[in-house]
Structure 1
Amino acid sequence: MKRSIVLLLALCILGPLMAQRPGSLIDIASYKYEIELNDLNNQIQGKATVNAVMLQKSDLLMLDLVSTNPSGKGMTVSAVTENGKQLYFTHLRDTLRIALGATANKGDTRQLVITYGGVPADGLIIGRNKFGHRGFFSDNWPNRARNWIPCNDHPSDKAAVEFIITAPDHYQVVANGVQIEETNLGDKKKLTHYKETVPLPTKIMVIGAADFAVQYQGDVNCIPVYSWIYPDAKEKGFYDYALAKDILAYFIKLVGPYAYKKLANVQSTTMFGGMENASAIFYAENSVTGTRKCESLIAHEIAHQWFGNMATEADWSHLWLSEGFATYMTIWYFENTHGTDTATFMRKKDREAVLTFSRKYKEPVIDKSVTDYLQLLNANSYQKGGWVLHMLRRSMGDSAFLKGVRNYYSEYAGKNATTEDLQRVMEQASGKNFKRFFQQWLYTSGQPVLNIRWKYDAAKQLISGVIEQQQNTAFEFPVDLAWTEEGQSQPTVISLMVKDKTTTFSFPVKAKPAGFVIDPGVNLLYEGSATEEK
């Protein structure tokens, strides 16, 4: 009894002292979630079997799980056991603190079984879709899995996962991994069991239960591709989502093998336009139109299966390694399937988004001050991240850049990476030093603001001028200048390397330029204008 009192005191006292992050002292090897859903109310009943590897000696283990709030939403834990033995625990301030039956040494694996239930406050969206039909869709990003499953809710911890879902038998259930069982239990209930052996961060663990029409689209490199569509929209949805098969084939050829055993593209009630859940991508229900306007969305989410899912950012501050990559891989896909003009248009549109964002917010891409991670879903993480990769490609050349992308994925597939890791890989692939490049584009807010003044000297047959960087810190970058001389059908394009706040230039010409353009190919992230001096 004395030990019980001591452990309970330790749970209450040490909890606040260890509040840096509940799961920072463990590495989860696997989860198994047995969850029951029903149509009478929004309550779920769950049992979680968690295999945790201890990263240091401890007699305490902590997991993320949202506590019941005053409105009655949240999870309540009824029992925690190890080898059938009840363990003492507290569940306060969204953290489950468990007193281990015996002290665990560093490297030990402890298997805990947690019985719990409640109404999810978030994370598992329960409600009616646009057609009025009830459904259940998990929506975990960034750290919202804790609302319905006990877990180490951080992208740095990847684990194998199983979902065993008991639900009313009129629902079809989709989840990560391979379906290994579907059994009618009687009493209008059905059990569906999925298993994913490739370790995943919690942000991309997923279940969906709804009335679906499911279509097998065929295989890509022995990977079956499926479309899961609301029955009311199945014809439009099957047509729209059929794009996924060719997109998957493209990225396999470009980057490397697909890591999972299937690809399911699922119409859902996700709060996002799309959510890249591993092997079971959720798309917003309005993505289905029958016009295939969702092609860029599908490409973006499939690209995430490599970047974000397998090669995962080590922390949310490095989110651009996920969203910037998916954004640029989408443009790369369109460049190869729809042509360079389409890719140029997409970069121009993305540049406008970055400039609009930067005029209002003065944060760098890598911003460690953010604690509300939903705020990171912005033009810095997406469009600017994509632009950084495009400019890196321009600096490295296509061949070296592709080598770097493949090497980065190969090295960090199944692992976590930081921006410094990507920088090192790209430097190795190119033989170049990118210290200043990464510092200015990712750790410094804003982008070059250029004031270019030029004039034509008829006597000397010269164009001369000055490029002024008007932002506080000078960036280093190449910029293309183009002009068309009278009588010419094609413009002359000259590339300059700009390093300082002021750069002068002078070029010979045969006739007065009819026009002068900055960055005609849309290859530089900048704002500004060029003015002719008389």
Structure 2
Amino acid sequence: MSTIILKRTYISVLCFFSLFFNTQAQKHQERFETIDILNYKFDIQLSDTNNQIEGTAEIKIRFKKAVTTFVLDFVKKKSNGKGMSVYTVSENKNNITSYTHDNNQLIFNIDATKQDEIRIYTIQYKGIPEDGLIISKNKYNERTFFGDNWPDRSKNWLPVVDHPSDKATVEWVITAPSHYQTIGNGMMVEKTNISDNKIITRWRMVNPIPTKVMVIGAARFAVEEQGEIYGIPVSSWVYPQDREKGFSDYTLATPIIDYMINHIGPFPFKKLANVQSKTRFGGMENAGNIFYAERSVTGTGSNEALIAHEVAHQWFGNSASELNWHHIWLSEGFATYFTNLYFENKYGRDQFVDRIKAERLTIIDYTKKNPAPIVNPNIEDYMQLLNPYSYQKGGWILHMLRRELGDQLFWKSIRTYYETYKYSNALSEDLQRIMEHISGKDLSLFFKQWLYQIGHPKLEATWDYKNELLQVEIHQNQKSSIYNFPLDIKITYKDGTMAIETVMISEKIQISKIVSKKQVTSIELDPNTWLLFELISLNKK
């Protein structure tokens, strides 16, 4: 195991550097080589008078090398009045003036650092968030505040390194009107009424997380403690008007957590709160407190898949995070497939197959209009990564790996991958290496063709049975490169019996011959739904 971890660091860093192609990514590479945020402490004051927040950020930074400048992401106040204004900055409690705030960046010019030196910077600021912290009214016309940072929108209200590669612990100190309850990452460590109309709440997250899932929420809530599972407290936070419906819906989370713990590993954080919110997404997997769209609360239990997806993210995306945005399938593909795995465990194979067949059709339809690989470094608007390649196709990659390795080795690989990269970051190459190490197989071609190649196999098949010989001819008709894959063929005989034969496909046109003394009446490709492909035609000659 120690060999794997040492090798992991070396490979991850090299791959990280090699995958920075666009200008935006190259700038982040320079920062990645320079600083490491260890801890954020955000003191945020919320008000009902207006939408302005006042903030104090205390940021603990380790410098990886000697530098005289570094950069944080932070949106400056704009002509529309939205954005943040910085009014004091200090280094190790000494005020400094050698900084500039422009182009959504806070640039510090400092005395030269030493390698591994740690300094603490305190930034006081105020402003109206243009994004990131959503200040609005909920469906009941009540004022609410909800962090909604994904992918890199936290810089609209927090001075941060807004990239998943730089994970840190965080503490929230939230001052709000006393009629609000607040939720934040980690465990509540203080709740104090400082006056008749103001309350301070502190939340502390002791595990490093990326800023994309580093949030708070403030609203009128009804809160139910569901109890503990393996020592992890689980709670529901819903609008008081939706109390009964929300408490009922969110009970679905507990058996899902149980499944994930028993199949992946211990829950990564100290608590899980399921929160009704104003997120722009159907659900947002914020670490230790998932924010769900307010209208997802129905009282019918109809959003089990949504809850399963966001719970799975606590392991994949929040704890084991992608090192580079373009490997987001390591978050979204995992959450998609683990939702399916949970459904398979609870409802059986048939419902599982129905789900992955539907996802395969989604991939096929999307590819026709938007041909691209899963790992696509040309994307600079990270919202564009929320597509069927990251979700459904990413999930299908795991499904085909499960077939390639078999259930036992697949699960061992998943648990080893998570254990190796929990509270850290990984690339696709790291997953490949873990799976190769566990299985003893060379998976380089598999990862190359399915992650970095555009499209999927498009098959035309013909067959004939003569003289006790079944002949199956497969044509790969996709415009992209030829794929190599195992193809299961279900053979139905005249006497009503059936058999499955597996052939390896590696050519554009490939003929497979199968000896059979029993007369063949029909064949079916991929009867057990293990292959991501598009069937153009299947005909008897």
* TM-score category, normalised to shorter length: over 0.9
The C-alpha deviation readout for 1:15-55, integer Å capped at 9, x for no partner, is x9998138432100100000001112111000000001112
The C-alpha deviation readout for 1:414-469, integer Å capped at 9, x for no partner, is 11101111100000010000000000000101100111111232xx1332121011
Cα distance between partner residues in 2 of 1:509 and 1:78: 82
Give, in angstroms, the shift of residue 85 of structure 1.
Answer: 2.2
Match of 2:493 among 472, 485, 495: 485
Partner of 1:7: none
Cα distance between partner residues in 2 of 1:372 and 1:47: 29
| Pairing 1:276-425 to 2, within 5 Å after superposition | 276-425=285-434
- The answer to whether the aligner puts 1:163 opposite 2:197 as a matched pair is no
Match of 1:28 among 37, 47, 63: 37
The 3 A distance-change label for structure 1 pair 360 and 187 is same
Match of 1:267 among 269, 272, 276: 276
Instruction: Please tell me the residue identity of whatever aligns with 2:141.
Output: G
The 3 A distance-change label for structure 1 pair 484 and 18 is closer
The C-alpha deviation readout for 1:229-262, integer Å capped at 9, x for no partner, is 1111111111111011111111111011112111
Cα distance between partner residues in 2 of 1:310 and 1:508: 51
The C-alpha deviation readout for 1:86-130, integer Å capped at 9, x for no partner, is 212110000001222x32112111101100010101111110111
Give, in angstroms, the shift of residue 198 of structure 1.
Answer: 0.4
Partner of 1:42: 51
SS in 2 for 1:104: coil
Partner of 2:502: 495
- The answer to whether the aligner puts 1:250 opposite 2:259 as a matched pair is yes
SS in 1 for 2:402: helix
Partner of 1:463: 470
Residues 92 and 119 in structure 2, CA contact (< 8 A), matched pair in contact too: no
Cα distance between partner residues in 2 of 1:510 and 1:233: 66
Match of 1:196 among 205, 214, 219: 205
Partner of 1:517: 524
The 3 A distance-change label for structure 1 pair 309 and 455 is same
Match of 2:483 among 472, 475, 482: 475
Give, in angstroms, the shift of residue 147 of structure 1.
Answer: 0.5
Instruction: Please tell me the residue identity of whatever aligns with 2:105.
Output: T
SS in 2 for 1:497: strand
Cα distance between partner residues in 2 of 1:49 and 1:493: 63
Match of 1:98 among 91, 103, 108: 108
Partner of 2:8: none
Instruction: Please tell me the residue identity of whatever aligns with 1:452.
Output: A
Cα distance between partner residues in 2 of 1:512 and 1:42: 76
Residues 91 and 120 in structure 2, CA contact (< 8 A), matched pair in contact too: yes
RMSD value, Cα? 1.6
Instruction: Please tell me the residue identity of whatever aligns with 1:481.
Output: I
Residues 23 and 153 in structure 1, CA contact (< 8 A), matched pair in contact too: no
Identity %: 47
Partner of 2:239: 230
What's the TM-score once normalised by structure 2's chain length? 0.93
Residues 125 and 138 in structure 1, CA contact (< 8 A), matched pair in contact too: yes
Cα distance between partner residues in 2 of 1:523 and 1:381: 19
Q: Which moved more, 1:412-421 or 1:492-501?
A: 492-501
Partner of 1:217: 226
SS in 2 for 1:165: strand
Cα distance between partner residues in 1 of 2:345 and 2:283: 23
Residues 224 and 237 in structure 2, CA contact (< 8 A), matched pair in contact too: yes
Cα distance between partner residues in 1 of 2:92 and 2:151: 32
Cα distance between partner residues in 1 of 2:75 and 2:196: 31
The C-alpha deviation readout for 1:456-514, integer Å capped at 9, x for no partner, is 32xx13321210111231111111111322331x5322111111112112234455544
Partner of 1:531: 538
Partner of 1:5: none
Partner of 2:7: none
Match of 1:57 among 63, 66, 77: 66
Cα distance between partner residues in 2 of 1:420 and 1:334: 28
Residues 24 and 380 in structure 2, CA contact (< 8 A), matched pair in contact too: no
Match of 2:158 among 124, 131, 149: 149
Residues 87 and 98 in structure 1, CA contact (< 8 A), matched pair in contact too: no
Instruction: Please tell me the residue identity of whatever aligns with 2:66.
Output: K
SS in 1 for 2:179: coil
What's the TM-score once normalised by structure 1's chain length? 0.94
SS in 2 for 1:237: helix
SS in 2 for 1:193: strand
Partner of 2:440: 431
Cα distance between partner residues in 2 of 1:293 and 1:379: 22
SS in 2 for 1:529: strand
Cα distance between partner residues in 2 of 1:498 and 1:377: 32
Instruction: Please tell me the residue identity of whatever aligns with 2:38.
Output: A
Give, in angstroms, the shift of residue 327 of structure 1.
Answer: 0.8
**How many residues get paired?**
515
Instruction: Please tell me the residue identity of whatever aligns with 1:90.
Output: T
Partner of 1:176: 185
Cα distance between partner residues in 1 of 2:401 and 2:235: 35
Residues 93 and 121 in structure 2, CA contact (< 8 A), matched pair in contact too: no
SS in 2 for 1:103: coil
- The answer to whether the aligner puts 1:114 opposite 2:127 as a matched pair is no
Residues 483 and 513 in structure 1, CA contact (< 8 A), matched pair in contact too: yes
Instruction: Please tell me the residue identity of whatever aligns with 1:485.
Output: Y
Q: Note the residue ranges of structure 1 that are not aligned, 5 or more in a row.
A: 1-15
Partner of 1:507: 514
Q: Note the residue ranges of structure 2 that are not aligned, 5 or more in a row.
A: 1-22
- The answer to whether the aligner puts 1:126 opposite 2:135 as a matched pair is yes
Residues 66 and 146 in structure 1, CA contact (< 8 A), matched pair in contact too: yes
Cα distance between partner residues in 2 of 1:486 and 1:219: 57
